[in-house]
């Protein structure tokens, strides 16, 4: 493997000059720069990032720590984060916590040992506060993504869960639905709390009584939709929902599967809406009415905010970017047929 001394010898310059060209520091003539770059290409020289970081105290590496890479929402977030990082001269380490705070903790420790320049993090919930405290204690710049952590002010980029939920609920109510079931995420996650609050506000504003038997809480990773579907079917006919609101696309996909298995047709038997969209290759993409978050933009803008912190380009604390969702009305949310 070629070394910096091999490059210097071939380009007929000093190793220090090669280092300046690689790190883009110091006054280097264009002709010298071209000679060094040509030698690097000919020798296929790969700079030692660890050695450079010891000198510059910067690795040009950031971490994206998310909760579930298999979720299309986070796949798009990752794409946006990587694209922006590459533009700014950074590389991204991807980590996946699986909604597990302990796994998240192990990743945080690994990132501290790897000396990353900063962390863009979608927390697994409010209990992630102890993990973020490690970043604060070690003075690692970080930006929170998608979910807030209760009691922890921070720079954050997130979608507007409240607005998206209100608009989906208003759509269902205008369609004549009054019995609307909410299949929500766990209450220790901020987005679930916000969506439940907006759900209840929409019903109250429309003068519709809240029915506690139509409120359900499930885990984003553990499939409990079987039990929820059974409970919905066991309700007396006058209590059965005419519409279902799923708090995210994973819950929606699982609920749709369970309803189909039990012979319940959407939308003829029950209308259905959800938060977050699906990939274009999914058969639900052109069918379900959704509040689609700009997932790519969340990752893209999150990296920009993080690099601003790393490079000292912002003196502001607790910056907050809230991106509006796009409501996509499709076939799954037809008008209530009162027979």
Residue 1 has pLDDT above 70, yes or no: no
Q: In what order do the strands lie in the sheet with 118-121?
A: 91-96, 61-66, 118-121, 142-145, 156-159, 320-323
Task: Give me the mean pLDDT over the 251-273 stretch.
Answer: 92
pLDDT at 90: 94
Q: List the one residue out of 131, 146, 126 whose CA is nearest residue 80.
A: 146
Task: Give me the mean pLDDT over the 235-241 stretch.
Answer: 88
pLDDT at 225: 66
Domains along the sequence of the chain with CATH: 4-47 (1.10.260.40), 61-159+294-324 (3.40.50.2300), 161-293 (3.40.50.2300)
Residue 11 has pLDDT above 60, yes or no: yes
pLDDT at 115: 80
**Consecutive H or E run containing 321:** strand 320-323
pLDDT tens-place string over residues 33-65: 899 889 888 887 866 654 454 444 677 899 999
Question: The whole model's pTM is what?
Answer: 0.81
Q: Taking a C-beta distance cutoff of 8 angstroms, is the pair 275, 168 a contact?
A: yes
Residue 130 has pLDDT above 50, yes or no: yes
Residue 231 has pLDDT above 50, yes or no: yes
**Consecutive H or E run containing 328:** strand 326-328
pLDDT at 48: 60
Q: Taking a C-beta distance cutoff of 8 angstroms, is the pair 325, 291 a contact?
A: yes
Q: Taking a C-beta distance cutoff of 8 angstroms, is the pair 276, 245 a contact?
A: no
β partners of residue 118: 62
Residue 149 has pLDDT above 90, yes or no: yes
Query: At 100, is the pLDDT very low, low, confident or very high (cuts 50, 70, 90)?
Result: very high
Residue 281 has pLDDT above 90, yes or no: no
Percent of the chain clearing pLDDT 70 (strictly above): 94
Angle, vertex CA 338, rays to CA 334 and CA 339, nearest 5: 120
pLDDT at 246: 95
Q: What is the CA radius of gyration of the chain?
A: 25
Gap between the Cα atoms of 145 and 86, Å rounded: 19
pLDDT at 21: 85
Most confident of the following: 37-41, 253-257, 303-307? 303-307
State the residue for tokens 């885990």.
219
Q: Under 8 Å CB-to-CB from 153, ≥6 apart: which residues?
A: 317, 318
Residue 54 in tokens: 């010891």
pLDDT at 47: 67
**Burial annotation 191-230 (CB, 10 A radius, 16+ → b, else e):** bbbbbbebbeebbeeeeeeebeebebebebeebebeebbe
pLDDT tens-place string over residues 151-202: 898 999 999 999 999 999 999 999 999 999 999 999 999 999 999 999 999 9
Query: At 219, is the pLDDT very low, low, confident or very high (cuts 50, 70, 90)?
Result: confident
Percent of the chain clearing pLDDT 90 (strictly above): 62
Residue 278 has pLDDT above 90, yes or no: no
Long-range CB pairs of 202-205, under 8 A, 24+ apart, other chains included: 202/165, 202/166, 202/169, 202/170, 202/173, 203/169, 203/173
Q: Taking a C-beta distance cutoff of 8 angstroms, is the pair 288, 278 a contact?
A: yes
Gap between the Cα atoms of 116 and 111, Å rounded: 6
Parallel, antiparallel, or unpaired for β 289-292 and 326-328?
antiparallel
Task: Give me the mean pLDDT over the 128-139 stretch.
Answer: 92
Q: List the one residue out of 63, 184, 55, 198 whose CA is nearest residue 117.
A: 63
When the pLDDT of each residue in the chain is averaged and rounded to a whole number, the result is: 89
Residue 144: φ, ψ to 5°: -90, 145
């Amino acid at each position: 493997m070629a070394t910096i001394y091999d490059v210097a010898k071939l380009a007929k310059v000093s190793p220090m000059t090669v280092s300046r060209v690689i790190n883009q520091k110091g006054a280097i003539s264009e002709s010298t720069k071209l000679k060094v770059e040509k030698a690097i290409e000919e020798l296929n020289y790969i700079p030692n990032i660890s050695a450079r970081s010891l000198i510059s105290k910067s690795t040009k590496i950031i971490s994206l720590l998310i909760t579930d890479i298999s979720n299309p929402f986070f796949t798009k977030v990752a794409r946006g984060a990587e694209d922006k990082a590459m533009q700014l001269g950074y590389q991204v380490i991807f980590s996946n916590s699986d909604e597990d705070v302990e796994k998240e903790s192990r990743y945080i420790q690994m990132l501290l040992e790897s000396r990353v320049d900063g962390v863009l993090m979608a927390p697994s919930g409010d209990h992630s506060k102890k993990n973020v405290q490690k970043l604060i204690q070690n003075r690692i710049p970080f930006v929170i993504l998608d979910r807030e952590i209760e009691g922890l002010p921070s720079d954050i980029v997130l979608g507007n869960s409240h607005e998206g939920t209100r608009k989906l609920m208003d759509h269902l109510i205008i369609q004549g639905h009054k019995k609307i079931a909410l299949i929500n995420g766990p209450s220790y996650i901020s987005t679930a709390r916000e969506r439940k609050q907006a759900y209840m506000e929409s019903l109250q504003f429309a003068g519709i009584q809240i029915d506690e038997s139509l409120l359900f809480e499930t885990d984003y990773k553990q499939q409990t939709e079987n039990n929820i579907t059974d409970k919905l079917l066991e309700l007396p006919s006058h209590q059965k929902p005419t519409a279902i609101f799923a708090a995210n696309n994973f819950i929606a996909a699982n609920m749709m599967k369970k309803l189909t298995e039990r012979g319940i047709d959407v939308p003829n038997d029950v209308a259905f809406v959800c938060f977050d969209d699906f990939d274009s290759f999914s058969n639900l993409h052109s069918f379900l009415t959704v509040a689609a978050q700009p997932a790519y933009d969340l990752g893209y803008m999150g990296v920009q905010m993080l690099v601003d912190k790393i490079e000292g380009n912002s003196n502001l604390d607790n910056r907050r970017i809230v991106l509006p969702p796009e409501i996509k009305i499709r076939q799954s949310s037809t008008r209530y047929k009162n027979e």
